[in-house]
Structure 1
Amino acid sequence: MELKTENLVKCYGKKAAVRNVSLTLSEGIYGLLGENGAGKTTLMGLLCGIQQPTHGKITLNGRTIEALGADYRKMLGYLPQNFGYYPEFKVWDFLLYVAALKGLSRAKAEEKSGEMLKVTGLMSEKAHKIKNLSGGMKRRLGIAQAMLNEPEILILDEPSAGLDPGERRRFGHLIQNFSKGRIILISTHIVSDVEKTADRIIMMKAGRVIYAGKNRENLEDFYFDYFRRNEE
């Protein structure tokens, strides 16, 4: 499986949020690093088909994602930075609702919802309304809904926001266990979130990819040194 962007550009008026990004993603976990405003969220929106590029294209195994249409969307799991939910829904009902939107049968929806509640540590909250959950619990619920359909391409925008250190470690283990045969892209501005999890690192600045390669030892030092060198 190969997900590619070719000379990808996204402009809002005269401002380019993504500038000539060409990437090739295959099986593995990718950490997408950059400061707020670097273009990470825009790039993820393009990869999910939520936004349309100004120039360039995105292909999966040689076919554009527009041509693949619903077949591509079925392969996707997505957690946006601002996770939308219905506050009055109970956790269990919300997962069943999302599963139905993803096309899962009732039996499969119940099976996967139960599984995701267990792995995200939310089983004790299944009968609670979402509005009563803590920020960290809501984020874990967002991760659970993104993984319900066992997506082959999982895109997570700042998934660890609001999670405490223990929850972040559990999230890292969950993603590693889930990653076989999948493309997983995790956006964050916190280097430690992907330091031990990602196979490869993509770094963005001002809409451009300034580094794409293997994860490094002492990633945090490499990250900040590379940004400083890029400014010179």
Structure 2
Amino acid sequence: MKNIIALVIISAVQAHYTFPDLIYNDVTETDWTYVRQTENYQSHGPVQNVTSESIRCYQLAAGNEGAQTQTVTAGDVVGFRVDPSIQHPGPLAFYMAKAPTGEVAADFDGAGDVWFKIYDDQPTFAADGLTWPSAGLTEVNVTIPECVAPGEYLLRVEHIALHAASSVGGAQFYIACAQLTVEGGGTTEPEGVALPGAYSATDPGILFQLYYPVPTSYVNPGPAPITC
């Protein structure tokens, strides 16, 4: 019986994932160097309450958990390693939030209407089901928009697993936030949304019947990605 329970626990953990490492200039940093350590660093489990503050950065504790801040240039590609891989179907998105003037990313809690989306993806639709481009990935990447103003930022990665999203609270959010200093860039400081606040448990992209009848469209939750 103990062996059976252990196998069940291992299977559950392997079905979940984290984003522990920042990737920049083809270098993958060690766990939680530039990424704030998340509550699920051991369990790999998701956030399912979109009104919880965990939906913001899923931090293990208040503060930055000792994370450092990576300097990048607007227009650069930045990524996250996935541990072990994205194992559920659903959309990938990236958000940024600029710290107030005089505040550094390491001290910024991300509260308020500060989060703007810089990327989200759409599935491929077929008669036998939906397939997202992030399926199975062991790293995910995004380009820092060239137009954003220089400054101190949080970069938030979010993957929403929709395999159990046909009931309220069934969608699973896998989240992490890295700390960045963005150099170069332009002058754009986009309007933002609050997290929590931007999502409702009944949004059509969160409360979603994935399997049957096979969907022919998908509406990403939250704001549209900014354009430069």
TM-score, normalised via structure 1 length = 0.25
TM-score by length of 2: 0.25
As a proportion of its length, which structure holds more helix?
1
